[in-house]
């Protein structure tokens, strides 16, 4: 193996007490991402090194691992300035004009202080090339980290940032086929939360295509995790009962209260600590503050709404960046879009909700629904036998 990647950790370096746990989880996540690749991973408190055959290819994969601040394609040479100079001249892009040297002396036993080393190496580069020095706005920043060896690099690729997925336990994402909830899932993963997905399916009112679309979205966000599963809730009976027993204007509010109830019980069952969804303040009738309050009233579990304060266009930007957008806009109906009343209530009255709900035995329906949730753990295949 001839190439080397050096990883700089993300925010985790600020969490001193947990650093070891964070680095271990990050290592597992990187190993999962690089499964099947020929690599040797070593690490210490501040850096991880990956020896590999094709650094560019590995770097691309690593850009989807949260908890990485930056990915550096580095060159490891013996710790003497002639060798460092030789490597520097080799990797500095000849199409560029100006440079500066930044030295980090990690091993303080190294005799020359960083600034002095940078000056000395800079002088040697000047003498041996046509590059000019520009300390304020250089075309190339030539970095040297002096450790057991000298690590020389000129390119640094931004990592995905955030915390390693898993350091925060699990959240249950209510995943629809829309634009917002996959983005909410991505943002939650980014904060180090393991995400499991819950999809409310209402066949035959919703189609197999709609479900496959959700699985496809889960697969895309799974690229940042590797551990995402989709839990499919058979929601037909509940929706039909709501349709039959509740007035039009309250159908969506009550349906969402039922979704929250089911989500909370199921989250407890699978050990998820929070609920996550793609609600955004004011976007639709069920997302006015009055609606959110009335719907949220059925649960004591924290509900995280990562896109609550983003504009639709901002959400779309992220969806495009993470490549869920194209799938999200496919035109399959969702259980929220069938049975949609013309004028859903935007200021629901809690007492009315309770009265309407008590007109049918929803608790039995909830229990039955939860007992019949099906888990899809292999997201590779899009088509599968009819689940319900
Ligand atoms: P999205 O674009 O994510 O579908 P939306 O703006 O269409 O969101 P709603 O349909 O009101 O909004 O849904 C709000 C949130 O409720 C969704 O972001 C999602 O988290 C959850 N949700 C809606 N429908 C479903 C479903 N069928 N299964 C699971 N969660 C759902
Ligand atoms: Mg939706």
Task: Spell out the domain ranges in the chain.
Answer: 3-158, 170-387
Write the CB contacts of 179 (distance below 8 Å, at least 6 apart in sequence).
278, 312, 315, 316, 319, 324, 325, 328, 329
Give the pLDDT confidence score for residue 108 in this predicted structure: 77
Question: Is there an atom of ligand 1 within 6 Å of 279 CB?
Answer: yes
Question: What ligand 1 atom has the least distance to the C-alpha of 173?
Answer: 20
Q: Do residues 246 and 358 touch, judged by C-beta distance below 8 A?
A: no
Mutate which of 171, 181, 295 to test ligand 1's pocket (most atoms within 8 Å of Cβ)?
181
Give the pLDDT confidence score for residue 15 in this predicted structure: 56
CATH number of 3-158: 3.30.2130.30
Separation of 191 CA from ligand 2 center, angstroms?
23
Separation of 250 CA from ligand 2 center, angstroms?
17
- DSSP letter (8 states) at residue 163: B
CA pair distance 137, 268, nearest whole angstrom: 53
Quick one: which of 185, 154, 202, 181 has its CA closest to 66?
Answer: 185
Separation of 324 CA from ligand 2 center, angstroms?
14
- Pairing mode of beta strands 132-133, 156-161: unpaired
Separation of 64 CA from ligand 1 center, angstroms?
25
Give the pLDDT confidence score for residue 256 in this predicted structure: 97
Give the pLDDT confidence score for residue 354 in this predicted structure: 97
Give the pLDDT confidence score for residue 2 in this predicted structure: 86
Separation of 47 CA from ligand 2 center, angstroms?
42
C-alpha dist (Å) from residue 127 to 87, 98, 102: 15, 14, 18
Separation of 162 CA from ligand 2 center, angstroms?
26
Question: Is there an atom of ligand 1 within 6 Å of 277 CB?
Answer: yes
Give the pLDDT confidence score for residue 148 in this predicted structure: 86
| pLDDT tens per residue across all 388 residues of the chain | 689 999 999 776 555 678 888 999 999 999 999 999 999 999 988 899 999 999 999 999 999 999 999 999 999 999 899 999 999 999 999 999 999 999 999 877 778 899 999 999 999 999 999 999 999 999 999 999 998 899 999 999 999 999 999 999 999 999 999 999 999 999 999 999 999 999 999 999 999 999 999 999 999 999 999 999 999 999 999 999 999 999 999 999 999 999 999 999 999 999 999 999 999 999 888 899 999 999 999 999 999 999 999 999 999 999 999 999 999 999 877 766 667 777 889 999 999 999 999 999 999 999 999 999 999 998 875 544 444 3
Which protein residue's CA is at the shortest distance from atom 25 of ligand 1? 176
Which protein residue's CA is at the shortest distance from atom 18 of ligand 1? 278
Q: Which fold has domain 170-387?
A: Rossmann fold (3.40.50)
Question: Is there an atom of ligand 1 within 6 Å of 325 CB?
Answer: no
**Token representation of residue 258:** 């039922």
Give the pLDDT confidence score for residue 386 in this predicted structure: 43
Residues surrounding ion ligand 2 at CB below 5 Å: 176, 178, 334
**Token representation of residue 306:** 């990562």
């Amino acid at each position: 193996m001839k190439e080397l990647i050096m990883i700089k950790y993300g925010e985790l370096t600020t969490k001193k007490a947990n650093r070891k746990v964070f680095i271990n989880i990050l290592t597992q996540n990187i190993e999962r991402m690089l499964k099947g690749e020929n690599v040797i991973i070593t690490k210490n408190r501040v850096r991880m090194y990956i020896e590999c055959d094709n650094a560019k290819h590995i770097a691309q994969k690593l850009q989807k691992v949260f908890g990485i601040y930056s990915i550096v394609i580095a060159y490891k040479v013996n710790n003497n300035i002639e060798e460092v100079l030789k490597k520097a001249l080799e990797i500095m892009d000849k199409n560029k004009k100006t440079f500066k040297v930044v030295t980090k002396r990690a091993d303080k036993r190294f005799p020359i202080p960083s600034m002095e080393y940078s000056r000395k190496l800079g002088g040697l580069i000047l003498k041996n090339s046509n590059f000019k020095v520009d300390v304020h706005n250089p075309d190339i920043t030539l970095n040297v980290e002096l450790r057991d060896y000298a690590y020389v690099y000129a390119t640094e690729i931004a990592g995905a940032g955030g915390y390693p997925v898993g350091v925060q336990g699990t959240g249950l994402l209510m995943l629809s086929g829309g634009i917002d909830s996959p983005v909410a899932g991505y943002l939650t993963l980014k904060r180090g939360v393991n995400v499991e997905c819950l999809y409310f399916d209402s066949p035959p009112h919703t189609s197999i295509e709609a479900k496959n679309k959700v699985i496809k979205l889960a697969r895309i966000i799974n690229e940042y995790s590797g551990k995402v599963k989709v839990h499919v809730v058979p929601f037909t009976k509940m929706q039909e009962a709501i349709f039959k027993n509740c007035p039009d204007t309250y159908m969506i509010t009550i349906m969402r209260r039922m979704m929250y109830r089911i989500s909370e019980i199921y989250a407890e069952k699978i050990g998820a600590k929070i609920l996550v969804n793609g609600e955004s303040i004011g976007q639709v009738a069920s997302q006015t503050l009055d609606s959110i309050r009335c719907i949220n009233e059925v649960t004591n579990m924290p509900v995280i709404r990562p896109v609550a304060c983003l504009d639709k266009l901002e959400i779309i930007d992220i969806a495009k960046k993470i490549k869920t957008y194209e799938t999200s806009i496919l035109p399959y109906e969702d259980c929220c879009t069938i049975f949609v009343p013309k004028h859903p209530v935007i200021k629901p009255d809690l007492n009315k909700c309770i009265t309407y709900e008590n007109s049918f035995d929803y608790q039995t329906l909830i229990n039955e629904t939860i007992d019949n949730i099906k888990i899809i753990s292999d997201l590779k295949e899009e088509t599968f036998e009819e689940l319900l």
